[in-house]
Amino acid sequence: MTVFCPPVQLAGIGHDFPGEPVRNDHFTSRPELGVDEEWILRHTGVAARHWPPEGERHVDMAERAARRALAEAELDPGDVDVILGTSATARPRVNPTSPGNNYMDVALPVQRRLGAPKAMCLDVTGVACSGFLHASAVARGLIATGHRTVLIVCAENPRPILNFSYRNSVLFGGGAAAGVWRANPGADDGLHAVTLHSDATHYDAFDIDEHDTMVMKGKVVGEFAPGVLADATRRVLRQADADLDDVDWIIPHQGNINLIHDVQDALGIRDDKRVLLNIERRGNTSSVSVPSCLSEYVHDGTITPGDRILSMAIGRGFSWGAMLFSYGRPRPWEQ
């Protein structure tokens, strides 16, 4: 059976990082961690990150990012047919996404905040840091069924589930990002290729302990992730009948600086000026990582409409993938 996939366009993108930056001295002043500035930068590449102020929830950041994305797409909330939410850090009761409710979903509370009455809502869960890639594939499928406008909202607030007796707590930041995929009839397709994969062999590489804090086996991630991300990147380029020369910008998952460097080395792009990063000032923001980096460079003018972006990310499970897409109206491929 042949499934028709209509052309789509990433029409808008937005991000939100609340409050003042939390710099590394927040951790270096904790003698039990035994870290200094040099250790943090060498092992993570993070100089600062943002955590939502006390009392602020995922939905607060998500609403601001969503409104920014919709404004860029020149749309109102009433134009949205579907809202897809994703988060790696929301937890029932311990870290709920909205005030006055102990649930952990993102899409429904965002719908209420925005006032998007006709939007169907669902969350893409269990894939953590690769949430934007997975949600974009879901968006394409929903557009193929007749929906016209899909809003993806990624939101993270790691602080309530971080164990500050572990060094990996230095890595994670909070924030939100949103993207608007729209049907683009009669035009070129802006989602050129996407490949998604899972392997549950190391399902326990991420967990939640008895204190409801996050547990991560960093060594397992470091050994597994670079190879599969490089492989997914090659697959998605083959799928699009493209190569690295056809790509304007590369946005890797901002997991940590060493993971990024390992992926760059595997692809032969270690010193490539097209690789865009925000990990130094934002930290690892899980599902927010890829779309927030995209949004920051769109809104500062680095990425312009028609540019082609190659991205790859890996989340718990493991679940990973790569995506080749255009920002804004796609430009024709050179023959």
- Catalytic amino acids? 129, 253, 284
Instruction: Using CB atoms within 10 Å of the CB of residue 45, give its burial: 0 to 12 exposed, 13 to 18 middle, 19+ buried.
Output: buried
DSSP annotation of 204 reads: G
Instruction: Report how far residue 253's alpha carbon sits from residue 158's, in angstroms, rounded to the nearest whole number.
Output: 17
Q: Which string of DSSP letters, residue by residue, matches 2-41?
A: ------EEEEEEEEE--SS-EETHHHHT-TTT---HHHHH
Amino acid at 135: A
Instruction: Find tokens 């399902």 and name the residue.
Output: 203
Measured between its terminal Cα atoms, the distance across the chain in Å is 30
Beta bridge partners of 310: 250, 324
Instruction: Find tokens 């934007």 and name the residue.
Output: 132
Instruction: Report how far residue 40's alpha carbon sits from residue 29's, in angstroms, rounded to the nearest whole number.
Output: 13
Instruction: Report how far residue 286's alpha carbon sits from residue 214's, in angstroms, rounded to the nearest whole number.
Output: 13
Q: How many CB atoms lie within 10 A of CB 228?
A: 18
Q: Are 311 and 321 in contact (CB under 8 A)?
A: no
Of 172, 84, 125, 106, the residue nearest 319 (C-alpha) = 125
